[in-house]
Structure 1
Amino acid sequence: MGSAEDTKPLNLSEPLLPSTAFAAPASAEEEEQYPPITYNRGNRPLRDLPFLILFLILSFSTFALGIVVSVRRNPNRSRAFVFIYDSSSSSCIPPPNSSLHDLSSIYVYSSTSVFARDLIWTFVITLLLAGPIALSILFLLRHLAKQVVYTFIPFFILTLIFLNLYWFIACQFGVSCRQSFPLVYRILVLVFFFLFIALIVWLIVSNWHRIKLTVRILRISSSALASNIALFAVLPSLVLGLLVYFAPIVVFLVLATFNGKIVPWEREDGRYSCKWKQAGWVPSYFALAIITMIWSLSAMVEAQAYVTSGTIAQWYFSMEERKPRWSIRNSLRNAFGPSFGTICFSGMVLGVVRVVRIIVDTARREDIASGFVKVLLRCCAEYFLAAFDFVNKFTINFSAITGESYCSAAKMTYELLRRNLLSAAFVEVVSARTLAGIIFVISTLYAIAVYAILKSIDDLGTETYYIAVLAWALLMILLGYFVHVLEDVIDTVYVCYAVDRDKSEVSRQEVHEVCSLLPVSRNHRTSLDSRTPFLV
C-alpha cells in the first residue's frame, strides 16, 4: 500500500485528497483492528442468531395461534342481531322456528359496471407496461443519461405548469366546481402553486453545478444494474413471496374477529337485548400479528437491499472483462442463510424507526405535543431517528459485502468512511430527486394518455379523472420501486468505492472518476473542473 503512494509523483496542481493527504500511516494496532475489507466470497458464519430466533418465534406464534383462532371461531358473529334474550335462562338464543341458515345475510352483487371494467383493464395494462417502461428508462440512463436528464428537467417544470393551469381552467368550466370553489380562492391556489413551482426552479438552478455529476452517477449505476438485469426478476419475486406469507395472516386476523360470544346487555329503557362480545385475547393476537407483519415487511426491504448490494459488489470487485457467475444466487444464499439474522436485526431497527417516525409526524400534524416537556421529547425523538438513519445508511450494504453482523457492520462502515473523510449522510441526493422527477413526468404523461383514451371510448365524466389518477399513482409506485433499486445500487457502489479508497486500489476506474467528485458534506460545493479523480 505504501509503495504505490511513494512512487506516485506529487502534482501540486491537484487538490490533496483524504486518502493521500490526511490519512496517517496505519499502525500495526490499527491494521489488526481493521483488517483489509473486500467482498467475502468464502463461507460465512451465522450472524445475529438471537434476532433470527426471535423472528422465527414470532412468526411461528402468529401462525400457530392463527390456526387456533380459526378452529375456535364462532360462526354466529354475523347473526348476533337476530338473537333474542331468554329471561328464563338469562342468555341469548336464536329465535324459535327459524334456521340460522335462513337468517344469514344475503349479499347482492351487482353486475360489473363500465367504471369497474375500465378501471380493471387500466390496472392490468399498467402492470404489463411498467416493466418495459422501467427497462426503457434503464437503457436510456445507461446510454443517453445526459440527454435524458437535460430533457426531463424542463419537461418536469412544464408538466407542473400545465397541471396548475389545467385544473384552474377545468374548474372554471365545471359548474359544480365553479359554484363550490369561489374565484378568489381559485386564484389564490393558482398563485400558491406557481410560487411552489418557482421554488423548485430556484432549487434546480442553485444545484445546477451538480447536474453534470448527477448524469455521471446515473450512468454508472445504470450500467451496474444493467449488468445484473436478472435482479428485476428476483427482487419482485421476494415481494410476491412476502404477499404469499401475508395471505394466511390476513385470513387469521379476519377469523380472529369471530372469536367471542353473544351476550345479553341492558338497554337504557331497562329491557335486555343481545350483542356480540369479542374475546379479550383477540387484541393481543392482533398486536402480535401486526408486529410480525411490520417486522417481516422491513426485513423484506432489507433483504432486497442485501441481495442488490451483494450482487453489485461481486460485479464491482470482479475483473472488468469477466462477469461473475451465480452472483445473484450467492447473494440469495447469504441473505437467507448466514446473514438472515442480520437482515432480521436491520429490519427490526428499520421497523421501529418507521413506527416512531409515524407517531412523531402524527403528533406534529395534530399538534398533540404542546408544552416544553412534550416538545423536548419530540426533539429527542427526532434526534433518535436521525441517529439511526445515520447508522443504518450503509450498514446492510456493508454486511452484504463482508458478511459482518449488524453492529460490527455499522461500526466498520462508520470507521471506513471516517478514515477516508467520506460522508455517510450524503451520497448524491440530487440523483434521487432527478429520478423522482423523471418518473413523475412519465407517469403524468401516461395518465394523460389514459384519460384521452377513456374519454374517446367511454365518457364517464368525472370518473374518468379518477381512473387516470389511479393509473398515475400505480405507475408512480411501480417506477418508484425501480428508483429504490437504483438507489440501493448507488449506495453499494459508494461503499465499494470507499473500500477501494481505503486500500488505495482501483477496481472500477469509471466509478473512481465519478465518486471522487462527490462532496464530503451537504454544505460543500464541488466543482467538476477543480477536482480530479483519485488515481493510484
Structure 2
Amino acid sequence: MGSSIEETNKPSNLYDSPSSPTRPLLSNPYPSPSIEEQPHHAADPSFDSDQTQFLQITYNHGPRLFKDWLFLLLFVLLSLCTIAFGIFSIAHKNSSYYNVSSYTYDSSSSSCVKNSTSLSYGLIFNSGSSFSVYFFNGSKIFRASSSSFVRGLIWALVITFILSAPIMWSVLLLLKHYTKQIVYVSVPFFVLIPIGINVYWFVACTVSSSCSDAFPLVYRIIVLVFVFLVIGVIVWIFVLNWHRIELTTKIIGVASDALSKNLALFVVLPCLTLGLVVYYVPIVVFLVFARFNGNIVPRESDGEYYCVWKQDSWVPAYYALAIITMLWSAAVTVETKAYVISGTIAQWYFSKDDSTPKRKIRSSLRNAFGPSFGSICLSGLLIFVVRIIRVTVDSARQEDVPGIINLILRCCVNTFLSAIDFLNKFTINFVAITGEAYCTSARMTYELLKRNLLSAVFVETISTRLLAGVIFVISTIYAIVLCAILNGATDLGVDVYYVAALAWLLLMVVLGFLVHVLDNVIDTVYVCYAIDRDRGEVCKTDVHEVYVHLPISRSQRF
C-alpha cells in the first residue's frame, strides 16, 4: 500500500509514457544506462554499438581532428590555380586589345597593321546639384544626366538601409516576446494586401486612358480573376494547416529567444559575406584581364579581310575554372554560416543552468576554418553539384522533351535532389555539434531523424512560410508609408511607385537575412532536442515543452 502511494505521488516525467500521443520525434529514446547496467551491457555481445555511440552525442568542446581534408586540399588547390593563372593573365595581357578598330589588314604581309586612330576621351561637367557626362568619339556625342528620380532613389535606399537594422532588431524582439500576437495580426494581411493591390491596379488602369488603351478590359479581368484565384489557394492552405500554426509560433518564439541570446551572429555573418566579396574582387579582376590575352588576327568574310581579336586558347578554360571556384566558394560560405550558427546555438543549448558559454562564436569560427573546413567544403560541393543538376533538369523541362520516361526521370531526380538537400542541411548541424566527418555525421543524422522525418519537414515548412509572410507584411507597410511621404514631399509623380518598390525590395532582402538565420536556428534547436531525447536528458526545459508536441512520423521504424 505504501509503495503504491509513493508511485502515485511520484512527479510525472516528461517522457514517462512512450505511448503518449504527444510523444516527440524519437519514440523510444535510449535511456542513460545506470552504473549497475554498464557491466551487463559491456558483457552483452548483442549490445548495439550504435546505441553507445548515440549516448555520447553532445557538443564537442575538446580538440577536434581534421576531417575530410582531401576536399579541403581540392578547394585550396582550385583557389590557388585560379589566382596563379589570374596573375599570369595580368602579366601577359596584350594592350592592343583596346585598339582593335585601329588595325587594318595588310595584303602584302598578310597580317594586321596599326594605322592612325581618332581620339576618344570623356569630360565631366559639374553644375550645381546635377552633373552631365559627355563622351566624344569622332563625330558622335553621348550625354547622360542625373535626375530627381536618381536622387530620390538614392536617398530612399540609403535611409531604408539605415533603418533596416533597428527594424530587424524590433522584429526579433517582437517575435521573442509576442510571437503569437505578431503572427495572428499578420495572417489577415497575407490576404488583405494582395487583394488591395489587385483591386488598386485594376481601378487605376481602368481610370488611366493610356493604360486602358494598352491593356484591354478583357485581359484586365482575366488577370484580376487569376490573382483572386491565387489568393484563394493561399487562404485554403492556411485553413488546411491552421491547427499547426499555434505550435509553429511557439517554435519561432523559441528560436527567436535563442537568437536574441547570441546577437553577435548578426555581426559575424555579414562579415563572412563581406569576406566572400573581398575574395571575389581579385577573381573578377582576373576575369577582366583574361580577355586581354590574345592577338589581333585577320579574318576573311565574303572575300574581304578584316582584323578581329582572337583570345588565347586557354582563356575559356580559365573562365570555367574561375566560375567554378566562385560558385563553390559561395556554397562554402553558405555552409560556413550554417556551421557557425549551429555551433553557437548548440553551445548555448547544452550549457547547464542557463550559463552562457564564453567565446561561443570564436570557437565555432575556429572549428569552421580549422578541423571541420574540409567537411564544409564537401557540403558546399554537394550543394553546388545539386544546384547544377537542378538547373540542367529545369532547362530540360523548358525544352518540353516528350515521353513518359523523361517525365519519370525528372521526378526521380527532383526527389533525389530534395532528399540530398534535406539531409545535407541537418548534416552540417551535426558536423558543427560533434566535429565528426561529413559521411559519419550524415549517417548519424539519418539514424537520429528517420523516425520523424515528415514532421520535421512539415513544421519547418510552415515556420518558413509564416516568417516570410511576416516580413512581407512589414516591408509592404513600410513601402506604403514611404510612398505617402514621397508623394507629399517630392514631385516625383509616378516615379514614387518605382522608388517605393525598390525600397520594399531592399527591406525584404535585409529581413530575409533574419528569416534565414532563424531557419538555421530552428534546425539546430531541433537537432539538439533530438540529441536530448536520445540521451534521455533535458538541457533546455522551455524547448522541450514546445518540441514535445511535434507530431511523430507514423512510418515503419527500421
Partner of 1:286: 319
Partner of 1:174: 208
Aligned partner of 1:308: which letter? I
Query: Is the CA contact (8 Å cut-off) linking 1:316 and 1:508 kept in structure 2?
Result: yes
Partner of 1:262: 296
Deviation string for 1:461-500 (max 9, x for gaps)? 4433222222222211111111000000000000000000
SS at match of 2:48: helix
Correspondence list, 1:60-459, <5 A? 60-96=80-116, 98=117, 110-268=144-302, 270-364=303-397, 366-418=398-450, 423=455, 425-459=457-491
Aligned partner of 1:119: which letter? L
TM-score calculated relative to the size of structure 1 = 0.90
Partner of 1:530: none
Q: Distance in 1 between matches of 2:145 and 2:113?
A: 37
Distance verdict in 2 for CA 1:226–1:263, change over 3 Å: same
Query: Is the CA contact (8 Å cut-off) linking 1:455 and 1:464 kept in structure 2?
Result: yes
1:17 counterpart = 2:23: yes
Shift of residue 147, structure 1, vs aligned partner: 0.9
Shift of residue 179, structure 1, vs aligned partner: 1.2
Shift of residue 68, structure 1, vs aligned partner: 1.0
Deviation string for 1:375-424 (max 9, x for gaps)? 34323321331231232130000110100111111100111223678855
Shift of residue 231, structure 1, vs aligned partner: 0.6
Partner of 1:477: 509
Query: Is the CA contact (8 Å cut-off) linking 1:369 and 1:378 kept in structure 2?
Result: no
Supply the RMSD in Å over aligned alpha carbons: 2.6
Deviation string for 1:284-317 (max 9, x for gaps)? 1111111111110011000000000000001001
SS at match of 1:518: coil
Query: Is the CA contact (8 Å cut-off) linking 2:30 and 2:55 kept in structure 1?
Result: no
Q: Distance in 2 between matches of 1:161 and 1:43?
A: 57
Q: Distance in 2 between matches of 1:299 and 1:206?
A: 38
Partner of 2:36: none
Shift of residue 23, structure 1, vs aligned partner: 5.5
Report the structure, 1 or 2, having the larger strand content. 2
Partner of 1:3: none
Q: Distance in 1 between matches of 2:107 and 2:18?
A: 100
Query: Is the CA contact (8 Å cut-off) linking 2:479 and 2:501 kept in structure 1?
Result: yes
Query: Is the CA contact (8 Å cut-off) linking 2:427 and 2:438 kept in structure 1?
Result: yes
1:515 counterpart = 2:541: no
Q: Distance in 1 between matches of 2:535 and 2:262?
A: 26
Q: Distance in 2 between matches of 1:411 and 1:15?
A: 28
Q: Which has the larger radius of gyration?
A: 2
Aligned partner of 2:436: which letter? E
Aligned partner of 1:28: which letter? F
Q: How many corresponding residue pairs?
A: 515
Aligned partner of 2:394: which letter? D
Q: Which runs of 5+ in 2 are unaligned?
A: 1-9, 32-40, 123-134
Q: Distance in 2 between matches of 1:55 and 1:393?
A: 20
Partner of 1:38: 58
Aligned partner of 1:238: which letter? L
Q: Distance in 2 between matches of 1:498 and 1:481?
A: 26
Q: Which runs of 5+ in 1 are unaligned?
A: 1-5, 524-536
SS at match of 1:42: coil
Distance verdict in 2 for CA 1:173–1:259, change over 3 Å: farther
SS at match of 1:506: coil
